[in-house]
Structure 1
Amino acid sequence: MADNLNKLKITPASFKTVTAANVDAQEKISTPSLTFFQDAIRRLRKNRAAMISFWLLLVIVIISVVSIWWTPSNPNAQNVAYANLPPKIGQGIPGFSGQANVGGRIVDKYAQANVPKGTYYILGTDYLGRDLFSRLMKGVALSLLIGLLATLFDLAIGVSYGLISGWHGGRTDNIMQRIIEIISSIPNLVIVILMLLLFTPGLNSIVMAMGLTGWITMARLVRAETLTLKSQEYVLAARTLGESPVKIAVKHLIPNLSSTIIIQTMFSIPTAIFFEAFLSFIGIGIPAPNASLGTLLADGQKAFRFLPYQMWYPAAVLSIIMIAFNLLADGLRDAFDPKTQE
């Protein structure tokens, strides 16, 4: 031990002068600073299921937008001679060859119907000879539009109602919450059916009917967050400086409520789409000849035993939309609030 200590010699070269540059280099933060939303997006990108859902929904939305101006054929054009044709893309592709089992033997339905060569129906035709692929494109676009419009009602009414209730508190909050409880006690389906009986069935009446009750969950979530946020120091400081409640809501409350609003919105859209599909499926939704996912399911269900493909494709698209929206909403919830992962 003593020999080792003797070998260690301390010389002036053993010391280094510490300069301001060395201190700055040690205290320098190498990781770039991120805002709350930038950090949330970074966490969202790590969620593989949410990102796959996002790109899948983006493709569906693009196809829906394209269907406004272009579809392979007129989705409402009827050609009874081409009724119930099976899907066909090319020869020899299983399930898309234009062949069907008739009386125990495989026949070419396109040849039987004298369909011109080169005329294919990717998803087949329905009982009126309408192109199912074109109708599915239009149906998805209409269902997404209804979901978006119903969600806008949800945002406009729910956020405003929740902010007013939570901000004022006291007697105002009690009265507003009792109103919500009364509305919640009536089943949504009853309200929607009454609205559709009073007004002409169609896009406007369905959106209005869903907007009457769809905002309740949003209002409750916003109210709960507002009750917490209004006691924060920055809100108290704004009130001390004399800012109006509207200005405080726009500058301080809504930005801090944005994560709650975004997450609930992502859950509201698929709920509205599914509710519209249910209404159309039971015959009180979108009127004929317009196509939505619900009307396509209703038409396909009539011939499901013999022509199952007419129901499979709209059912598959509806399932994909519902699953993708829910997975994306779960990813957003985890990204905006990492505590939910624990």
Structure 2
Amino acid sequence: MEEKIKLSPDSFQPLPKEEELDNEKIAAPSLTFTQDAWRRLKKNKGAVISLFIILIMVIIAFGSTPFIDKSTLVKSAPQYANLPARVPGLDFINGLNGKLKVGGQWVDQYAQNGASGKYFYLGTDYLGRSLAQRIIYGTKISLIVALVATFFDLTIGVTYGIISGWKGGRVDNVMQRIIEIISSVPNLVIVVLMLLVMKPGMTSIIAAIAISSWTTMARMIRAETLQLKTQEYVLAAQSLGESPIKIAWKHLVPNLSSIIIIQTMYTIPTAIFFEAFLSFIGIGISAPETSLGVLLNDGQKNFQFLPYQMWYPAIVLCVLMISFNLLGDGLRDAFDPKTRK
């Protein structure tokens, strides 16, 4: 038998009044959903670094437009062809001082081409055009394609998904069969069909994105809408006579914001790679216009002897896609902590 321990009144001491009130206080600050998500996002170092990299690339791509003469992007200068990178103050680093290894020896290509006073920070291509300027402009094209894909995701995808999930029944069934038909056609086939009525370039890529890029967003929004429309606050709004448009704008869209933001972050790198792939195989943006895919296509032709012409645009494309993917993972964990393992 265990002995029972008896406590006397002397074993208890009253709590001072000033401490009694402090124990009832809530120490944690009151945060909104957005503030709490931002607090969690800041803890993800990879996502924060990716966010800053994306902002820097966006600023450089769009902010440098007034300083880049578009005619120099397509105008050839044979006297400066295939020059390696040359950066002021880095004459001691081979590969960044205008020297190229030829026959086992480092040769000053700028002196040989009569361009001693010139500086091309990333070198030039086979027509003597500045790679740095073409990469910056190509990054801008890739970001424009990403913005277009985001626009169609936010307009067609979100609207289509909400209508399909809200209506349900036969309307939902028909709308989902339409999505399945669109999704069953490969994007490459859609682009080829667009080329029959359009010229290769941004227009055909945008048309292909407008036709097929929004289907994933629509499916995700539709699945979440099916759950949200049975919630009490939505039913209460219906009983008070609110129109479906107001219910969607005031109740559904705010609760779908996390899914919209996360899916958008995954749509952007997909669109960037889609444009680069099409331009690389020659059915997207074509020379003399520039994009990251065009630069990769041009660089791979001389990769054995001038690898830098392919490495630089490839690095920019990889950094851009990895940054958006890491930011998307960080936003997913920030908006929905339950998804973290």
CA distance in 1, matches of 2:258, 2:165: 17
Aligned to 1:110: 110
SS of residue in 2 equivalent to 1:124: coil
Matched, 1:29 2:13: no
What's the CA shift string for 1:296-337, capped at 9, x where partnerless? 101101111111100000001100111111011001001111
> Residue 3 of structure 1 aligns with which residue?
none
**Quick check: 1:76–1:135 contact (8 Å CA) kept in 2?**
no
Counterpart in 2 of 1:162? 161
**Which residues of 2 match residues 62-101 of structure 1 at below 5 A?**
62-71=59-68, 74-89=72-87, 90-101=90-101
Q: CA deviation at 1:95?
A: 1.6
Structure 1 distance, partners of 2:300, 2:153, is: 31
Aligned CA distance change for structure 1 residues 237 and 307 (closer, same or farther; 3 Å): same
Matched residue SS, 2:289: coil
2:285 matches 1:286:
yes
Deviations, residues 245-293 of structure 1 (Å, cap 9, x unaligned): 0000000000000000000000000100000000000111113222111
The residue that corresponds to 1:216 in the other structure is 215
In structure 2, runs of 5+ residues without a counterpart are 1-7
C-alpha distance after superposition, 1:36-61 (max 9, x if no partner)? 11111100000011111111111111
Deviation at 1:203, TM superposition (A): 1.7
Q: Which residue of 1 aligns with 2:38?
A: 41
Task: Write the distance in 2 (CA, Å) between the matches of 1:16 and 1:309.
Answer: 74
**Paired residue secondary structure (2:207):** helix
Q: Give yes or no for the alignment of 1:60 onto 2:57.
A: yes
Give the counterpart letter for 1:275 in structure 2: F
Cα shift readout 1:80-107 (whole Å, capped 9, x = no counterpart): 0110001111422132121112234321
Once residues 108 and 17 of structure 1 are traced to their aligned partners in structure 2, the CA distance between those partners, rounded to angstroms, is: 83
The size of the alignment, in residue pairs, is 332
Aligned residue in 1 for 2:5:
none
Q: Are positions 1:318 and 2:317 aligned together?
A: yes
Other structure's SS at 2:303 match:
coil
For 1:190, the equivalent position in structure 2 comes to 189
Amino acid at match of 1:160: T
On the 8 A contact 1:72/1:134 being kept in 2, the answer is no
Q: SS where residue 305 of structure 2 aligns?
A: coil
Aligned-residue RMSD, C-alpha: 2.1
Deviations 1:140-190 (A, max 9, x none): 011111111122112211101100000000000001111111111111110
How far 1:15 moved relative to its partner? 5.4
The separation in 2 between residues aligned to 1:212 and 1:174, in whole angstroms, is: 20
Q: Is the 8 A contact 1:71 1:137 kept in 2?
A: no
Structure 2: which amino acid aligns with 1:264?
Q
The CA deviation string for residues 172-219 of structure 1, in whole angstroms up to 9 with x for no partner, is 000111111111111111012211221122223211211210000000
Give distance in 2, aligned partners of 1:16 and 1:121: 75
Counterpart Cα distance in 1 of 2:162 and 2:275: 28
Q: CA–CA distance in 1 between the matches of 2:38 and 2:74?
A: 42
AA partner of residue 152 (structure 1): F
Whole-angstrom CA distance in 1 between matches of 2:310 and 2:106: 21
Percent of aligned pairs sharing the same letter: 60
**Residues 290 and 16 from structure 1, CA distance in 2 versus in 1: closer, same or farther, beyond 3 angstroms?**
closer
CA distance in 1, matches of 2:103, 2:113: 17
Distance across 2 between alignment mates of 1:49 and 1:39: 18
- Does the 8 Å contact 2:200/2:286 carry over to 1? yes
